[in-house]
Amino acid sequence: MIKVFLAEDEFVVREGIKNKIDWTAHGCEFCGEAGDGELAWSLIQKEQPDIVITDIKMPFMDGLVLARHIKADFPQTEIILLTGYEEFEYAQEAVRIGVARYLSKPISSENLIREVDAISEKILEKREERESARKYAEEMRERNELEKQEFFRNLVTGGRELSEILDDAKRLGIDIAAICYNVMLFRVWHPNDRGVETYSERRIDIDRDTRRIADEEGAIVFDRYLEGEAFLFKADGEAELKDALGRAKERITGLLAGRNVRYFGGIGEMVNRITDLPRSYAEASRAFAGRYFTENNEFLTSRSGEPVRERADFRLAEVDPRRVDKRQLQEFLYRGDPAETDYFLETFFEGLGKNALQSTMFRQYILMDSYFCLADFTENELHRERDEVELPDASGAGVADAQGAKDYISRIVRHALTLREETSSGRYREAVHEAIRYIEENYAQEDLTLNRLAAHVNFSPNHLSTIFRQETGQPFIRYLTDYRMDKARELLRLTAKKSSEISVLCGYRDPHYFSYLFKKTQGMTPTQFRESGMAEGHE
């Protein structure tokens, strides 16, 4: 319904307009009236009507002043000015303010409602266009998240010049200006997760709440999908930045207390330049790799600056058994990002002690333990027969010293991750193919969403979004939109169906949104497409 408000100081005129028009029959709600401009302004602020009909000459506040206030605070409200004066300056001022109609008194009810109908039609068109734009922006949010992810990757790898970073930040609406920065890498997972996250509304809620906390404490939130989130904290002073980090850690810890989840945060080094963010990220990544060496829920800073004790000898009794637990290696084989391998191994070797690998006995123990850990992982988790897998040989001369042992362990870890990625790629490819089949069978259903598709293939939405883009080169929503538009063009070419019918057949119950989206993606309306001749051979 279109809300209409009337401001008129002549009681007879006001009553005639209010009572002689069947407002409901014209899709309108008569939401209020006032006999002077001052009272009208107070009521308009409360009711926020779509159309205001007002006389120019009124006590306390005239119609032109009232119109200026309305347009300043409610620019989408349309105004019809009624006047018994025909001076040019009044009409000129009305146009400058943005009044929709300037009508002379007396005016009949029929003529007035005709003007109201015309304005109402335009209001509804604008309303539908705004709603369509909102829907489109919501649907394209996944694409925007991917652009933000790419922006963060460039930010922390030094992949672009500073001027390019600033231009990208402006385009994405990211305020990156600050005096100092720090990176926190953060992830939540279920204790039973083994590499593949399953769909969970509870996990989605947790992720949303932790991101909200980081945002409230001044961080820019970047989704790293399977690897969790990156929080880029920024402030105008080191003390302010430190306080924000402290509050964020305390609030997230409180949020997740008592829940059956694991969480871990790695905090980098504070820097003062955008171009130094790769250093902060590297330190955060090094700290984040510490999650494989603890069962605690905690936030760690990088340990790269800690002194390592120089020892000329090695005694087995001094080795901490918890630091040589092969479960750490198993955990990394299940969950580890190949890009984290260097950080993981650095922390792994540091934990053994500087001189531990100088011992032939200890070196052989670590080598064989690592070898059998890999063999168990490839056979039982990747379902590869041992004779199908070429495992690096631990008996060669290359493992005769400490550096050779490190090189060997590094080699077998990278080998295992390569096998895991190959196996995962096949499994992911099958999941994406199943998702595509599901899209082709259900594209006409309006409620076909990423969450619904993820539930069908038993992946988390974030996980499916990542692998879908990797396999198809497109975000899910772009793929679905393109598929629906292809079907729409086909129906426009081959049938005489109305645009509203084609809209429903392509999964859009709202024909206005369908027309908006078609024009947005195809450069013309469905009617123009059909009439232009492109329907005969549009690619």
Read off the CATH number of the domain in which 494 is found.
1.10.10.60
- Answer yes or no: are the C-beta atoms of 66 and 37 closer than 8 Å: yes
Q: Does the pLDDT at position 58 exceed 80?
A: yes
Domain boundary pick from 139, 157, 190: 139
Is the per-residue pLDDT at 312 higher than 50? Answer: no
- Answer whether residue 278 is part of any domain: yes
Nearest alpha carbon to residue 476 among 145, 206, 51: 145
Q: How many Å from the N-terminal Cα to the C-terminal Cα in the chain?
A: 41
Q: Is 186 helix (H, G, I), strand (E, B) or coil?
A: strand
Question: Per-residue pLDDT tens for 78-91?
Answer: 999 888 766 656 77
Residues 127 and 98 in one domain: yes
- 182 and 124 within one domain: no
Does some domain include residue 217? Answer: yes
Are 202 and 340 found together in one domain?
no
Q: In the chain, how many domains are there? A: 4
Q: Which residues pair with 51 in a beta bridge?
A: 4, 78
Percentage, residues of the chain above pLDDT 90: 38
In which domain, by residue range, is 125 found?
Answer: 2-139
Q: Give the domain-ending residue among 124, 139, 154.
A: 139
CATH number of the structural domain spanning residue 83 = 3.40.50.2300
- Is 44 found in the same domain as 123? yes
In a domain, 34, yes or no: yes
Of 219, 211, 183, 218, nearest to 301 by C-alpha is 183
Answer whether residue 114 is part of any domain: yes
Classify residue 439: in a domain, yes or no.
Answer: no
Q: Would 349 be classed as within a structural domain?
A: yes
Mean pLDDT of 120-148: 79
- Among 220-234, 431-445, 520-534, which range has the highest average pLDDT? 431-445
Q: How confident is the model at residue 505 (pLDDT cuts 50, 70, 90)?
A: very high
Work out the pLDDT band at 538, boundaries 50, 70, 90. very low
Does residue 167 form part of some domain? Answer: yes
Alpha carbon distance 275, 158 (integer Å): 7
Q: Do 342 and 410 share a domain, yes or no? A: yes
Q: Is 135 found in the same domain as 148?
A: no
For residue 187, the cross-strand partners are: 264
Structure confidence by residue, pLDDT tens digits, 340-368:
888 888 888 877 766 777 777 777 777 77
105 and 158 in a single domain? The answer is no
For position 437, what pLDDT does the model report? 95
DSSP-assigned letters across all residues of 443-511: TT-TT--HHHHHHHHT--HHHHHHHHHHHHSS-HHHHHHHHHHHHHHHHHHH----HHHHHHHTT-S-H
- The packing angle between helices 277-288 and 341-352, to 10°, is 60
Same domain assignment for residues 167 and 288: yes
Residue type for 128, please?
A: E
Q: For residues 162 and 200, state if they share a domain.
A: yes
- Strands ordered across the beta sheet of 78-83: 28-34, 2-7, 51-55, 78-83, 101-104
Q: What is the CATH number of the domain that holds 175?
A: 3.30.70.270
User: Which of 62-76, 140-154, 161-175 has the weakest average pLDDT?
Assistant: 140-154
Is residue 468 within 8 Å of 436, Cβ to Cβ? Answer: no
- Residues 118 and 37 reside in one and the same domain: yes
Structure confidence at residue 63 as a pLDDT band (50, 70, 90): confident
pLDDT of residue 396: 55
Would residue 350 count as lying in a domain? Answer: yes
Claim to verify: residue 149 and residue 245 sit in the same structural domain: yes
Among 87, 107, 139, the domain boundary falls at 139
- State the pTM of this model: 0.56
pLDDT tens per residue, range 211-241: 999 999 999 999 887 678 999 999 999 999 9
Shared-domain flag, residues 271 and 358? no
